[in-house]
């Protein structure tokens, strides 16, 4: 089996089309490799209600009947997929009825499910996450990227919540690095003053009602001023700089509107409350379409419906992706045309306000070029961009190869960093 890539789909709020996206995106990806979609929003049974096929085994059988997760994967049938175009797609349904122990599972259930997801036989695993940020959600998220965030125009609370997810993931990693379980702590040789200083600062940044440290960039600056060039300072800066955000805009309704009511507020909010340093990549968008909604109501994923018009312009997408690929591997300078290529949206925001407005301009241009695409082309584009990203970037940036437990995360963090086993921590202040 090739190396598996796991992509959680999350949103701060429900109702933004997370499940709709997760299903159709998984179908699109399955044209490129074996893809399994797992319903982790187990309270709503949303996936089984959106795909009208008989389900023999679901998460109930995994938790209560000791079936392997691989045995609980359901494929499409001849009615939904007569030409077997999507034979590489499968999904793990949530239980038929609300079962509290499966909806709000404890640590034991969670560990069992994480281990089983890591063992799933697939090239791509897509997780339809529950909205919100409780431990049942966040423990399935990667430590160093956002998976795919879904948000949508005209829903400010969902946009705000999307950047809160980034914040929560980053803070989880920082807290882990500076926890007493961390090898970092051992190197402090019992220096509890340092440990308290850091954790107190982290508390203050995370507390939205405490304005003394606005965001992680202020936190990093504070550390640099207090500690100078110190392992703690470097670790915090590196954690922020390496973090990657990937998002898709659903219910796209035109360039200006989506841009002003979703993209800009998202990036502004991320910049002021989390950090201006992490890289933000737009993977595309899904247009608002009655056909998508009708398909949901009829329990047939929209991508399984035959396009009414002629096939989407695959060639243009293909050509553009080829250009991206050439640029990424350094074979070719970016084409010199007025419109910047979408690859530039992957650049981090670390150059400050200029970079922010540049990023926004690039997104605008991309939207302008593609605003007439239909939803088939949208899903094709997003899946191609994701595949491109996985080929060219590290798993830690997008599509991790497994769901790391905290102790695995610590091990891998400290295996590759050059933190010595003992260090001179100097004096405080």
Ligand X SMILES: Nc1ncnc2c1ncn2[C@@H]1O[C@H](COP(=O)(O)OP(=O)(O)O)[C@@H](O)[C@H]1O
Residues that bind ligand X (CB under 6 A): 11, 14-20, 46, 250-251, 286, 288-289, 292-293, 296
Least separation in angstroms between residue 427's CB and Mg ion is 52
* CB-count exposure of residue 313 (10 Å: 0-12, 13-18, 19+): middle
Least separation in angstroms between residue 94's CB and ligand X is 12
Distance CA 276, CA 283 (A): 19
Residue 17 binds which of ligand X, Mg ion, none (CB < 5-8 A, kind-dependent): ligand X
Distance CA 280, CA 257 (A): 20
If one asks whether residue 152 binds Mg ion (CB under 5 A), the answer comes out as no
Give the 3-state secondary structure of residue 150: strand
Least separation in angstroms between residue 43's CB and ligand X is 11
How many degrees, rounded to 5, is the angle at CA 208 between CA 345 and CA 257? Answer: 40
Distance CA 143, CA 96 (A): 31
- Inter-residue contact 151 to 162 (CB < 8 Å): yes
Least separation in angstroms between residue 41's CB and Mg ion is 5
Window 34 to 73, contacts with Mg ion (CB under 5 A): 41, 46
Nearer to Mg ion, 150 or 382 (CB): 150
Residue 188 binds which of ligand X, Mg ion, none (CB < 5-8 A, kind-dependent): none
Sign of CA dihedral 13, 15, 16, 22: positive
Nearer to ligand X, 10 or 88 (CB): 10
Q: Which residue has the tokens 């979609």?
A: 37
Query: How many residues in the shown chain lie near Mg ion by CB under 5 A?
Result: 4
Q: Closest CB to ligand X belongs to which residue?
A: 17
Nearer to Mg ion, 4 or 18 (CB): 18
Residue 250 binds which of ligand X, Mg ion, none (CB < 5-8 A, kind-dependent): ligand X
Strand arrangement, sheet containing 5-10: 74-75, 89-92, 35-39, 124-128, 5-10, 148-151, 244-252, 279-287
Distance CA 133, CA 29 (A): 27
Pairing of the two strands 74-75 and 89-92: antiparallel
Least separation in angstroms between residue 114's CB and Mg ion is 20
- Looking at the chain, how many residues does it have? 429
Q: Which residue has the tokens 């695959």?
A: 314
Nearer to ligand X, 296 or 359 (CB): 296
Strand partners, 48: none
Least separation in angstroms between residue 286's CB and ligand X is 5
Q: Closest CB to Mg ion belongs to which residue?
A: 19
Least separation in angstroms between residue 15's CB and ligand X is 5
Nearer to ligand X, 307 or 352 (CB): 307
Residue 231 binds which of ligand X, Mg ion, none (CB < 5-8 A, kind-dependent): none
If one asks whether residue 174 binds Mg ion (CB under 5 A), the answer comes out as no
If one asks whether residue 19 binds Mg ion (CB under 5 A), the answer comes out as yes
List contacts with Mg ion (CB under 5 A).
18-19, 41, 46
């Amino acid at each position: 089996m090739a190396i598996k890539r796991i992509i959680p789909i999350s949103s701060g709020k429900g109702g933004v089309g997370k499940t709709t996206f997760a299903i159709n995106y998984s179908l699109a990806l399955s044209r490129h490799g074996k893809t399994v979609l797992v319903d982790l929003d187990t309270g709503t049974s949303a996936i089984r209600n959106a795909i009208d096929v008989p389900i023999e085994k679901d998460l109930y059988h995994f938790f209560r009947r000791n079936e392997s997760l691989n045995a609980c994967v359901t494929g499409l049938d001849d009615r939904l997929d007569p030409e077997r175009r999507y034979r590489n797609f499968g999904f793990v349904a949530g239980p038929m009825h609300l079962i509290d122990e499966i909806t709000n599972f404890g640590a034991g259930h969670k560990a069992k499910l994480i281990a089983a997801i890591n063992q799933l036989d697939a090239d791509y695993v897509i997780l339809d996450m529950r909205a919100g940020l409780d431990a049942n959600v966040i423990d399935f998220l990667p430590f160093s990227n956002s998976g795919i965030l879904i948000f949508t125009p005209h829903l400010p609370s969902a946009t705000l919540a999307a950047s809160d997810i980034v914040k929560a993931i980053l803070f989880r990693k920082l807290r882990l690095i500076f926890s007493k379980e961390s090898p970092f702590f051992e190197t402090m040789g019992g220096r509890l003053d340092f440990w308290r200083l850091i954790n107190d600062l982290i508390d203050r940044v995370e507390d939205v009602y405490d304005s003394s440290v606005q965001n992680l960039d202020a936190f990093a600056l504070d550390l640099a001023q207090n500690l100078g060039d110190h392992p703690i300072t470097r670790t915090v800066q590196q954690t922020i700089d390496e973090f990657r955000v990937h998002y898709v805009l659903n219910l796209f309704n035109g360039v200006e509107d989506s841009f002003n009511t979703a993209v800009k507020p998202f990036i502004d909010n991320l910049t002021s409350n989390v950090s201006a340093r992490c890289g933000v990549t737009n993977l595309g968008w899904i247009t608002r379409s009655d056909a998508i909604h009708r398909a949901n109501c009829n329990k047939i994923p929209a991508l399984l419906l035959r396009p009414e018009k002629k096939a989407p312009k695959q060639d243009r997408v293909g050509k553009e992706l080829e250009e991206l690929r050439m640029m990424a591997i350094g074979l070719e300078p970016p084409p010199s045309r007025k419109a910047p290529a979408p690859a530039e949206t992957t650049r981090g925001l670390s150059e400050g306000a200029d970079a922010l407005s540049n990023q926004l301009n690039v997104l605008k241009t991309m939207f302008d070029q593609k605003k007439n695409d239909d939803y088939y082309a949208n899903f094709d584009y997003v899946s191609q961009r994701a595949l491109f990203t996985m080929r060219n970037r590290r798993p830690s940036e997008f599509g991790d190869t497994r769901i790391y437990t905290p102790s695995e995360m610590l091990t891998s963090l400290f295996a590759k960093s050059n933190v010595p086993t003992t260090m001179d921590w100097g004096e405080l202040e």
